[in-house]
Amino acid sequence: MSTPQRGKLVVGNWKMNGSAAANATLLAALIAGWRARPDRDVALCVPYPYLAQARDALGGSPIAWGAQDVSEYASGAYTGQVSAAMLAEFGCRYVLVGHSERRHGCGETDAIVAAKAAAALGAGLTPVVCVGETLAERDAGQWQEAVTRQVDAVVQRLGADCARTVLAYEPVWAIGTGRTATPQQAQDVHAHLRLRLRGAAAAGVPILYGGSVKAANAGALFAQADVDGGLVGGASLDAAEFLAIAGA
């Protein structure tokens, strides 16, 4: 059953895509096509070099913006890293932390992800904490252990501050593969995550689903009681598709 009293949040994750020219076209189409709705929040997480462009284009619009990663450290000798305070200076509202492409491609541990979420909160940003099992874990019937370990690390580190985060369930096997979790599979995991969050009095945090979300499947996913929106990769690069998902 859907919960119409709770709005949906739809976050686009551009990943490492775009160019100044292509972004300008995409941002203009999104601004022209999106009208503010009380039951919807929309945001775009863009590559660092385009944060100023996103700020300049989206400032004053109903679309928020953010980044795709943040350092766990405040400042210092961390070549190549970007602090939460720097992101705040560019008007970011959100930052993704613990995306599977960083957990699995860049060796980010549960502890690092939790530290990044804490750093984001410390600068007034909302971390979108990504969790999700691999195909091997799903096939072995171990999704519950995998996502529990990931979410518990964040709950342990943040405690009651968990209530100020957003969680995103992204099964690794569904990211960029065209293979989406069924609405029921998503609901089962989301309900489990909400139970884990209850311990930190954070059962009300939005829990987004991510992994091959498209206009064609967004409505069925968002209709699930514990699916509070979506984290959208590939489809967020297509204005018409992303607008249709945001309105689903």
Size of the site for ligand PGA (CB under 6 A): 13
Residue 101 annotated among the catalytic residues of the structure: no
Q: Is 1 exposed, middle or buried (0-12, 13-18, 19+ CB in 10 A)?
A: exposed
The answer to whether 85 touches 66, Cβ cutoff 8 Å, is no
Q: Closest CB to ligand PGA among 57 and 168?
A: 168
170 is a catalytic site residue: yes
In the set 169, 234, 241, 246, which binds ligand PGA (CB under 6 A)? 234
114 vs 235, which CB is nearer to ligand PGA? 235
Taking the C-alpha atoms of 73, 203, 222 and 26 in order, what is their torsion angle to the nearest 10 degrees?
-20
What residue is closest to ligand PGA based on CB? 233
**R_g of the chain computed on alpha carbons:** 17
What 3-state class would DSSP assign to 127? strand
* Residue 194: φ, ψ to 5°: -65, -35
Q: Which is nearer to ligand PGA, 200 or 214 (CB)?
A: 214
Among 44, 227, 231, 248, contact with ligand PGA (rule: CB under 6 A): 231
Which range, of 35-43, 63-71, 169-177, 219-227, touches ligand PGA by CB under 6 A? 169-177
98 counts as binding ligand PGA under rule CB under 6 A? no
**Per the residue annotation, which of 72, 137, 170, 241 is the catalytic one?**
170
Which of the stretches 62-70, 114-122, 141-149, 211-219 binds ligand PGA when contact is defined by CB under 6 A?
Answer: 211-219
Is there binding between residue 246 and ligand PGA (CB under 6 A)? no
Q: Which of 71, 185, 187, 212 is the binder for ligand PGA (CB under 6 A)?
A: 212
Considering only the stretches 56-64, 107-115, 151-159, 228-236, report the one whose residues sit in contact with ligand PGA under the rule CB under 6 A: 228-236
User: Any contact of residue 13 with ligand PGA (CB under 6 A)?
Assistant: yes
CA 50, 235, 140, 128 torsion-angle sign: positive
Helix (H) or strand (E) segment spanning residue 9: strand 8-13
Catalytic residues: 99, 170
Residues near ligand PGA, by CB under 6 A: 13, 170, 175-176, 210-213, 231-235
